[in-house]
Amino acid sequence: MRIIHHPGYDPHFGQQHVFPSVKFQKVRDRLLGDATASEADLLRPDPATNDDLLLVHTPAWVDALTHGTLTHAQIVRLEVPYSQAMVRAFRLMAGGSILAAQIALEDGVAYNCGGGFHHAFAGHGEGFCAVNDVAVAIRVLQRAGRIQRAMVIDCDVHHGNGTAAVFADDPSVFTVSLHQFKNYPAVKPPSNIDVHLNNGTGDADYLDILHRLCHRAMADFTPQLVFYVAGADPYENDQLGGLSLTLDGLRDRDRVVISAARQRKIPVAVTLAGGYAEQLEDTVSIHAATAQVACSVAAGSFR
How far is residue 231's CA from residue 145's CA, in Å, rounded to a whole number? 29
Could you tell me how far CA 145 lies from the centroid of its own chain?
23
> Which amino acid is present at 233?
D
Q: Length of the chain, please?
A: 303
Residue 115: name the closest of 134, 128, 130, 102 by CA: 134
How far is residue 139's CA from residue 301's CA, in Å, rounded to a whole number? 32
How far is residue 143's CA from residue 84's CA, in Å, rounded to a whole number? 28
Q: Which residues are catalytic?
A: 119
Beta-bridge partners for 196:
179
Would you call 184 helix, strand, or coil by DSSP? coil
- The Cβ-side half-sphere exposure at 292, using a 13 Å CA radius, reads 19
Would you call 131 helix, strand, or coil by DSSP? coil
- 207 φ/ψ sector (left φ>0, alpha ψ -120 to 50, else beta): alpha
Residue 287: name the closest of 236, 235, 239, 241 by CA: 235
For the chain, the helix, strand and coil percentages under 3-state DSSP, each to the nearest 5: 45, 15, 40
Contact by Cβ (8 Å): 39, 114: no
Q: What is the enclosing helix (H) or strand (E) of 197?
A: strand 193-197
Cβ neighbours of residue 70 under 8 Å, at least 6 residues apart? 64, 78, 82
